[in-house]
Amino acid sequence: MTLPLLAQDHTAFNKPWPAFKIMGNVYYVGTDDLGSFLIATPQGNILINSDFDDTVPQIRDSVEKLGFKFTDTKILLGSHAHGDHMDGDARVKELTGAQVMVMEQDIPAISRMTPGGKPHPIDRVLHDGDEVKLGATTLVAHLTPGHTKGCTTWTLKVQDGGKTYNVVILGSIGVNPGYILVGNKDYPQIADDYVRGFKTLRSLPCDVFLGSHARFYNMHEKYEQMAKVGANGPNPFIDPAGYKAHLDLQEKNFRATLEEQQKAAK
């Protein structure tokens, strides 16, 4: 999502959600809808999405409720240069010293995100296909542009119950209300970028579908289902069909919006 610059009340965004283990070494530490993930390794942890600056204390509490130290966060990654996912980077860096890594195409937008006047930290510039390694865990950064120029989808392999699963953490491929797909002066290649984004996303093997908003992958329902079936039941987060359905829905919306704007531009 994108927000008006002056929107300060994040109560709805910061509505709490219990921290929980999704699978293997992947944990949910976000809010009711803002997706933040902790990837735990014996060499320290990776956090994906700091959310808003004022969400960070909640994320820290979630990490610590799971039994991890927030100060063991070694690497901070993000979904894309919108405030609801990466505004809190400076505060996480302050509290943990984590290395902040940002996709190159998102750097101009991310550099303008300075809550409380704090400059946005960037310790490593990422490029499409780059790997981020910690302990035995490797994450791959996939450039899936459109929603922002450097929108990033993360993939990793997770071991659970003797099996290996492909996890996809979608950056977002949604066309927000008000997005200009035709004749966009700030982002002339936006429509082509969405096409590229969809193509890349459809090429990624996906068993476990996660993303920067809980609603993308029906997290609430899956969480309830998980509580119902227990630790030995089938993990509801294994949902390749849900991944495909989400891409289909978003692509349909993209095509319809593009067609509408192309007609209006004639």
* Contacts to Zn ion by CB under 5 A: 1, 82
Nearer to Zn ion, 68 or 80 (CB): 80
CB of 5 to Zn ion, least distance (A): 14
Burial code of 133-146, b = ≥16 C-beta within 10 A, e = fewer? Answer: ebeebebebbbbbb
CB of 137 to Zn ion, least distance (A): 25
CB of 213 to Zn ion, least distance (A): 8
Nearer to Zn ion, 197 or 236 (CB): 197
Nearer to Zn ion, 84 or 207 (CB): 84
**Helical segments of the chain, H only:** 56-65, 83-86, 89-96, 107-111, 190-203, 219-229, 240-265
Nearer to Zn ion, 82 or 120 (CB): 82
Nearer to Zn ion, 3 or 140 (CB): 3
CB neighbours of 35 closer than 8 A, spacing ≥ 6? 28, 49, 79, 169, 210, 211, 212, 213, 214, 216, 219
- Cα(245)–Cα(99) distance, rounded to whole angstroms? 34
CB of 216 to Zn ion, least distance (A): 11
The residue type of 260 is E
CB of 76 to Zn ion, least distance (A): 17
